[in-house]
Amino acid sequence: MANPETKWGASYRLIASEKWKSKSAAMGRDVTQALIEYARLTVGMKVLDLASGTGEPAISLASRVGPEGDVTALDLSGDLLAIAEQRAQQRRLTNFRTCKADAHDLSFPDDAFNLVTCRFGVMFFADCEKALKEVRRVLKPEGRACFLAWGPFEQSYWASTMGIVHKHVGGSLLEPGSANMFRFADPGSLSKLLQSAGFVSIEEEMKQLSWTWPGDAEEVWEYAQAVSTPFRPLLERIPNDKRKQIDAEVLAAVRQFEDRGRIKFGVTVVLASGRKV
C-alpha cells in the first residue's frame, strides 16, 4: 500500500496547492464559513482541525478564537502543513500551530480540546469509527466534533468536470478499494458512525452553498485535475486521442456557470456533529 503522505503530498498536488492557494481559499470561503458557524465557536477555545492541508479552516478558526485560544492544524502531509504555516505567519497568527500526524492515532492527551473540526477529510479516514473514537477521546467533556463532507457526486462542480471524463472513459468513477469521497452523501450515514463512536446530541444536515472560482474555466479545469487526488486513476485513463475532445467539453460545461469573470458553482455538503458526554 502506498504511503499516505506520498499519495496526499504528491508533487503535482503540492505545486497546485501553492499555485492556487489564494483562489482555492476564495472558492472554499463560504464552505469554511458554514463550518465555523456550525461549530458555534467562542473566544478562548482550544481547537483541533483534522486534515487541514494548506490551512483551512484552521487559519480562519485561529483568527476567531483570540489570543486566549489556540488552534492545532493536523495533516498527514508535512509539505502541505508548511504552506499552512506560511499563510498563518503572513496573518501574524500567534495561536496557530501544526502537527503532522494520523487522525487514527492522535498524539494528544485525553480531554485536550473544546472543539474538533474537519472539512472534507472525514470521508477519507481508513477506519472512520476508530478515528472518531480518537476524536472523542481528545475532546473535553461537553466538547463538540464538527464535520463537513461532500454531498452527492451529482452536483455542478463534479458533473461538469469529472462527470464528463467518466462519461467518455467509463469504468470505475473512483478506484475500487479506495476511500469513497461521497460516502456520507446518504442522509444519516455520518450520524450513524458518530453514534457508534460514542457521541451524543448528534446533529446532521445537508446544505447548499456557493462555490465560486475567481477566474476562468481553464483555471478551474487545471486546478481540479491537479488537486482531486481520488480521481487521479480516472484522469490517467483518458486516451490521448480523446484528450482534446474531453477538455473542450469540460470547458464548455464549466463556462455555463461563468458570471462576470467568475465561475459560480453551487455545492452540496453534509454537516454533522456530536458532543462528548
pLDDT band at 101; cut points 50, 70, 90? very high
Phi/psi at 47 (nearest 5 deg)?
A: -125, 140
pLDDT at 2: 37
Per-residue pLDDT band at 11 (split at 50, 70, 90):
low
Average pLDDT along the chain: 93
Between CA 144 and CA 10 the distance in angstroms is 32
How many C-beta atoms surround the C-beta of residue 143 within 10 A? Answer: 22
Q: How confident is the model at residue 4 (pLDDT cuts 50, 70, 90)?
A: very low
pLDDT band at 6 (very low <50, low <70, confident <90, very high): very low
Tell me: the pLDDT tens digits for 33-44? Answer: 999 999 999 999
Q: What is the mean pLDDT of residues 195-223?
A: 97
Sign of the dihedral defined by the CA atoms of residues 40, 41, 45, 48, in that order: positive
pLDDT higher for 130 or 25? 130
176 C-beta neighbours (distance < 10 Å), count: 7
125-146 confidence digits (pLDDT tens): 999 999 999 999 999 999 999 9
Determine the distance from the C-alpha atom of residue 169 to the mean position of all C-alpha atoms in its chain, rounded to a whole number. 26
Q: What is the pTM of this model?
A: 0.91
Nearest alpha carbon to residue 121 among 31, 44, 61: 31
pLDDT computed for residue 18 by the predictor: 72
Sequence-ordered alpha helix ranges (H) in the chain: 4-8, 11-19, 21-27, 29-39, 58-65, 78-90, 128-138, 156-159, 162-169, 189-196, 217-227, 232-236, 243-255
Q: What is the pLDDT of residues 228-274, one digit of tens each?
A: 889 999 999 999 999 999 999 999 999 999 999 999 999 999 999 99
> What was the pLDDT predicted at 17?
63
Give residue 154's pLDDT band: very low, low, confident or very high (50, 70, 90). Answer: very high
Query: Which residue shows C-alpha cell 494548506?
Result: 54
pLDDT at residue 8 tops 50: no
Question: How is the chain split into domains, by residue range?
Answer: 4-152+182-213+267-275
pLDDT reading at 117 higher than 90: yes
Instruction: Answer whether 76's CB lies under 8 Å from 100's CB.
Output: yes
Nearest to 190 by CA among 86, 95, 83, 274: 274
DSSP 83-128: HHHHHHHHTT-SSEEEEE--TTS--S-TT-EEEEEEES-GGG-TTH
Q: How does residue 82 score in pLDDT terms, banded at 50, 70 and 90?
A: very high
Q: 4-152+182-213+267-275: CATH homologous superfamily?
A: Vaccinia Virus protein VP39 (3.40.50.150)
On whether the CB atoms of residues 74 and 51 are closer than 8 A, the answer is yes
pLDDT at 21: 77
- What pLDDT does residue 200 have? 98
pLDDT score at 19:
78
